[in-house]
Copies of this chain bind each other. A is one copy, B any other.
Amino acid sequence: MVHLSVYAPENLPEIERGDSIAERILTSLADFPLQTGDIIAISHKVVSKAESRMFDLREITPSPKAVQYGVLLGKEPALIQLILNESEEVLWAERANGPMICRHHRGFVCANAAVDCSNTKPGHAVTLPLDPDLSAAQIRGEIERRLNIRIGTIICDTHGRSFRNGACGIAVGASGIVALKSYIGKKDRVGRVMESSVECYADELAAAATLVMGQGDEGRPIAIIRGFQGTIGEQSAKEIIRQQETDIFLQALQKTRK
Contact = CB atoms under 8 A, between A and B. Distances in A.
B256 A204 contact: no
Given A1-B9, A207-B204, A241-B163, A256 B252 contact: yes
Given A118-B197, A165-B242, A186 B217 contact: yes
A32 B10 CA distance: 29
A205 interface: yes
B215 A211 contact: no
A107 B10 CA distance: 39
Interface in A192-218: 192, 194, 196-201, 203-205, 207-208, 210-212, 215-217
Contacts of A207: 168, 203-204, 207-208
Interface stretch (A57-65, A136-144, A243-251): A243-251
Contact of A92 (B197, B211, B248): B248
Contacts of A201: 166, 211
A110 to B, nearest CB: 8
A198 B253 CA distance: 23
B253 A186 contact: no
A98 to B, nearest CB: 9
Enumerate the 4 nearest inter-chain pairs by beta-carbon distance, A residue then B residue, closest first. A166-B200, A162-B249, A207-B207, A208-B208
Interface of A: 1-10, 32, 92, 99, 101, 108-109, 117-122, 158, 161-170, 179-181, 183, 186-190, 192, 194, 196-201, 203-205, 207-208, 210-212, 215-217, 219-220, 228, 230, 239-242, 247-253, 255-256
